[in-house]
Amino acid sequence: MPDDVIQGALFGSLDAEPAVPAPAPGELRVCALNINNPSVQHAQQTLAWLLAGRSDVLVLTELKASDGAKLIISGLAAEGFEVCLPPGWADGSYFTVVATRGLPQTSVDGPGDPRVVAVDVEHASRQIRIIGLYGPTNGMTTDSSDRRRAFQKTFLEYLHTALRPRLLLAGDLNVVEPGHQPPLASFEEHDYAFYTGLQRLGLADAFRQAHPAARDHSWISDRYGAQRLDHLFATPATGTLVNCGYDHTPRTSHITDHAALLATFALGTSA
Give 71-116 as a DSSP string: HHHHHHHHTTEEEE--TTGGGSS-EEEEEEESS-EEEE---S-TTE
* CA-based max dimension of the chain: 51
Q: Residue 138 sits in which domain range? A: 27-266
- Kindly state whether residue 212 falls inside one of the protein's structural domains: yes
167-172/126-133 β-pairing = parallel
Cα(105)–Cα(155) distance, rounded to whole angstroms?
A: 22
Strand order through the sheet with 260-266: 81-84, 95-101, 57-63, 27-34, 260-266, 240-247
> What's the pTM value of the predicted model, to 2 decimals?
0.91
- Kindly state whether residue 177 falls inside one of the protein's structural domains: yes
- Kindly state whether residue 99 falls inside one of the protein's structural domains: yes
- Kindly state whether residue 10 falls inside one of the protein's structural domains: no
- Kindly state whether residue 20 falls inside one of the protein's structural domains: no
- Kindly state whether residue 13 falls inside one of the protein's structural domains: no
- Kindly state whether residue 121 falls inside one of the protein's structural domains: yes
Asked whether the beta carbons of 68 and 39 are under 8 A apart, the reply is yes
Strand order through the sheet with 126-133: 105-108, 116-123, 126-133, 167-172, 230-234, 204-205
**Sign of the dihedral defined by the CA atoms of residues 217, 218, 220, 225, in that order:** negative
Question: Nearest-CA neighbor of 127 among 150, 100, 106?
Answer: 106
- Kindly state whether residue 21 falls inside one of the protein's structural domains: no
Q: What is the CATH number of the domain that holds 189?
A: 3.60.10.10
Element (H, E) at 127: strand 126-133
pLDDT for res 12: 36
pLDDT by residue for the chain (271 residues), tens digit each? Answer: 444 443 333 333 334 445 556 667 789 999 999 999 999 999 999 999 999 998 999 999 999 999 999 999 999 999 999 999 999 999 999 999 999 999 999 999 999 999 999 999 998 789 999 999 999 998 778 888 899 999 999 999 999 999 999 999 999 999 999 999 988 888 999 999 999 999 999 999 999 999 999 999 999 987 777 999 999 999 999 999 999 999 999 999 999 999 999 999 999 744 4
Q: How many domains does the chain have?
A: 1
